Structure 1
Amino acid sequence: MSRYLRYSLLTLVWVAVAAYIVFAGSAARRVRLSKKVGSMEIEVVDSSSQGHLVSAAMVRAWISHSGIKTLGTAVDAVDLTAIEQLIARNGFVDKTAAYVSYEGTLHITISQRKPLLRLLTDGMNAYVTGDGYVFAAPRASSLYVPVVTGSYRPPFPASYVGSVRGHIDHRLREIDDRIAELERDKYPLYRRELENDRNISALRRMRLKRQWWRLEGSQEFDARVDALREKKAELRRSYRYRSIVIRQQIEHIAAQQEAERRKQKKLEKSYEDFMKLLTFVETVEDDDFWRSEVVQITAQTTPSGALEVELTPRSGRYTILFGRLDDVERKFDKLLRFYRSGLSSIGWSEYRTIDIRYNDQVVCKK
């Protein structure tokens, strides 16, 4: 077979394949345009033994109330993006994907967030994930996670949904903008201060010379000197007072800036304590003994703004004063040693509080 004949046959074959692909695509397109959605399948891919936050019935209700057309709608007319956005608006939904199969089945796959704990503090009812994402607890949620109660004030408002780090960064940027705005308020004062300094310098340079060409006598000259001296004294008092006022205004603005910087430090410290709380709960949950022993975690914000924790154990009617979430492993080791060498022989109902806040000692009260 000659080379040209072989090339011609190959060209015809590829033309035929391309034509078939175009024809098959057009046919599938026509079939898809005529096909309608006949069913809906919803799958929550990560439901676990902890329970679930979202169910297929909830998703069906959301779609039904939203007015988005699904069943009986042409396959290509279903607004899949709107469905995904509708589901993703719920903070406890991590990821969602929607597509319609060739047979006309609407598939919706949902991945829910995995909370680490539930906050029931200071008017708040929210779940928090291990990476610091917070969302309101759904009404019909059935999820078993540790519950943190008490008067603790977390570093975000009760209505907030989203990354706590993101909220903190947003607040820090707002404070930075406020500090910059206050700095701009200083500029007119700096200009006034500079002008006042120039006036004081000019005042020092003010001199009088005897006007010989007018045959000015000593008495007339002395009178002019006295008048200038009085004028300079009056201006000096005025400039000094103005300098004090301007400096006070600048210092007042600087004090406001310093107060804003203290807010930033307080925010960062509050976020640090919040993340320590998450780490603390993870430590409890990762240990089989403490996971079964700790029944309740009570968190509170001290007058100084620090976070302290109290624990309610399963083994007795006492309260464990854990204190600040520093040296967590050391405190648990100390408490466990006291369990083994102290309470096991004294009795589990002997004390009302067990205080492990202090170094190398356990303080008990009846």
Structure 2
Amino acid sequence: MSRPLKYLLIGLMWAAVAGYILWSAAAARRQRAAREVTGMVVDVKDSTSQGHLVSTAQVRSWIRRSGLRTVGAKVDEVDLQGIERLIADNGFVSRVDAYVRYDGTLHVDIRQRRPLVRLLTDGWNCYVTQEGFAFAAPRSSSLYVPVVTGSYRPPFPATYAGPVRSYVEERLGEIDRRIEELEREKYPYFRRELQNDENIRALRRMRIKRRWWRLESEKEFDKRVEELRSHKADLRRRYRYEARLVQEGIDAISARQEAERRKQKKLEKSYEDFVKLLTFVEFLEEDDFWRSEVVQIVAHTAPSGALEVDLVPRSGRFRILFGRLEEVEEKFDRLAAFYRRGLGRLGWDEFATVSVKYRGRVVCRK
């Protein structure tokens, strides 16, 4: 057999194999499309001992109320992307995959977010993950995570769902744009200021000379000098008034800009405190003893503007005044030593408050 004929036969053979594969795939697709969905399986992948944010019954209820076709519909009629969007719209769901297997079963695999803390402060009821993703607490959620109460106000609205850092950066960007817009509002005042400065320079250049060629008398000359002085005085008052108006306008806009900058600093400080709070809760969760001992974190803003926390312990009837979220490990070491050497001898119900706010000391009050 010649080489060209051999290559031709091999090419035809591979073409036939490829054609068969394509035909088989198309036939399988047609057969699958004609098949009906026989059942639905909802699997929440990461429900743990902490509890759950979403249950299979909830997911089935969402799909049923949405009107999306599932069981009994042709496979091609099932809107898999619509099902995924419907479930993903809930902020506590991190990922959802919907697909139909060859046996006709619709599978919905869900991964829920893993909250680090629950904020139950004034007006807020939400979970926050370790990465700083916030979402409203579902009505039927039952997660065993640390709870923060008190008058603390997080750096995002109570209805917000998403990465907190993204929200803060967006707000900071909006403030930057407002400051730039306010700067542009100064431009007309700057033009007025330049024109007024030019008028003042022109005023200073105004001179009067005696008209010798007209045989002007000294009396006539003095009269003209007096008229010029009066005119210049009027212009000087007008230009000074204009300068004051211009400066007042610029100062008013500058004050508004400064107010926006204060908002920026306040928001940045609020976010910094928020990160400190998450780090603090993470520290508690990593320590077996304090994770079981601290049952509640009460957060509030001190008169100085700093974020401070109190801790409600499981043991005793006292409250731990922890103070600022600084030197956290050293404060807990002091507190642990006091637990072992102080409360063990004096009694767990002896004090109303135990404070570790002050460096190197534990201050107790009855």
TM range (shorter): over 0.9
Equivalent in the alignment of 1:130 = 130
- Structure 2 residue identity aligned to 1:314: R
What is the CA deviation profile of residues 5-35 of structure 1, one whole-angstrom value per residue up to 9, with x for unaligned ones? 3212201211210221122122112212311
State how far apart, in whole Å, the 1-side matches of 2:131 and 2:93 are: 15
Equivalent in the alignment of 2:307 = 307
State how far apart, in whole Å, the 1-side matches of 2:290 and 2:225 are: 91
Q: How does 1:38-187 map to 2 (within 5 A)?
A: 38-187=38-187
- Structure 2 residue identity aligned to 1:6: K
Equivalent in the alignment of 1:341 = 341
TM superposition shift of 1:213: 2.8
TM superposition shift of 1:353: 0.6
TM superposition shift of 1:304: 3.5
Matched residue SS, 1:46 = coil
Equivalent in the alignment of 2:252 = 252
Q: How does 1:206-285 map to 2 (within 5 A)?
A: 206-285=206-285
TM superposition shift of 1:2: 2.8
State how far apart, in whole Å, the 2-side matches of 1:26 and 1:162 are: 42
State how far apart, in whole Å, the 2-side matches of 1:264 and 1:339 are: 42
TM superposition shift of 1:190: 0.5
State how far apart, in whole Å, the 2-side matches of 1:73 and 1:161 are: 34
What is the CA deviation profile of residues 50-83 of structure 1, one whole-angstrom value per residue up to 9, with x for unaligned ones? 0111111111111111111111211112111111
Unaligned runs of 5+ in 1: none
State how far apart, in whole Å, the 2-side matches of 1:43 and 1:186 are: 60
Moved more, 318-327 or 94-103: 94-103
- Structure 2 residue identity aligned to 1:332: F
State how far apart, in whole Å, the 2-side matches of 1:102 and 1:212 are: 115
- Structure 1 residue identity aligned to 2:96: T
- Structure 1 residue identity aligned to 2:78: V
- Structure 2 residue identity aligned to 1:237: R
What is the CA deviation profile of residues 237-267 of structure 1, one whole-angstrom value per residue up to 9, with x for unaligned ones? 1111211221122112111111111110110
Equivalent in the alignment of 1:197 = 197
What is the CA deviation profile of residues 82-119 of structure 1, one whole-angstrom value per residue up to 9, with x for unaligned ones? 11110000010001111112222111111100001111
- Structure 1 residue identity aligned to 2:266: K
TM-score, L = length of structure 2: 0.97
- Structure 2 residue identity aligned to 1:32: R
State how far apart, in whole Å, the 1-side matches of 2:12 and 2:182 are: 77
Equivalent in the alignment of 1:16 = 16
TM superposition shift of 1:326: 0.7
What is the CA deviation profile of residues 308-361 of structure 1, one whole-angstrom value per residue up to 9, with x for unaligned ones? 100111121111100010110011011111122222222211111111101111
- Structure 2 residue identity aligned to 1:251: D
- Structure 1 residue identity aligned to 2:215: L
Identity percentage of aligned residues:
64
- Structure 2 residue identity aligned to 1:46: D
TM superposition shift of 1:4: 2.3
State how far apart, in whole Å, the 2-side matches of 1:295 and 1:101 are: 46
State how far apart, in whole Å, the 2-side matches of 1:15 and 1:283 are: 64
State how far apart, in whole Å, the 1-side matches of 2:143 and 2:17 are: 55
Equivalent in the alignment of 2:357 = 357
State how far apart, in whole Å, the 2-side matches of 1:220 and 1:343 are: 103
Matched residue SS, 1:32 = helix
Matched residue SS, 1:279 = helix
Q: How does 1:293-304 map to 2 (within 5 A)?
A: 293-304=293-304
TM superposition shift of 1:37: 1.2
Q: How many residues align?
A: 366
- Structure 2 residue identity aligned to 1:171: R
State how far apart, in whole Å, the 2-side matches of 1:19 and 1:188 are: 75
State how far apart, in whole Å, the 2-side matches of 1:36 and 1:211 are: 111
State how far apart, in whole Å, the 1-side matches of 2:304 and 2:256 are: 21
- Structure 2 residue identity aligned to 1:243: A
State how far apart, in whole Å, the 2-side matches of 1:34 and 1:295 are: 56
- Structure 1 residue identity aligned to 2:192: R
- Structure 1 residue identity aligned to 2:113: R
Matched residue SS, 1:298 = strand
- Structure 2 residue identity aligned to 1:221: F
Matched residue SS, 1:310 = strand
State how far apart, in whole Å, the 1-side matches of 2:248 and 2:259 are: 16
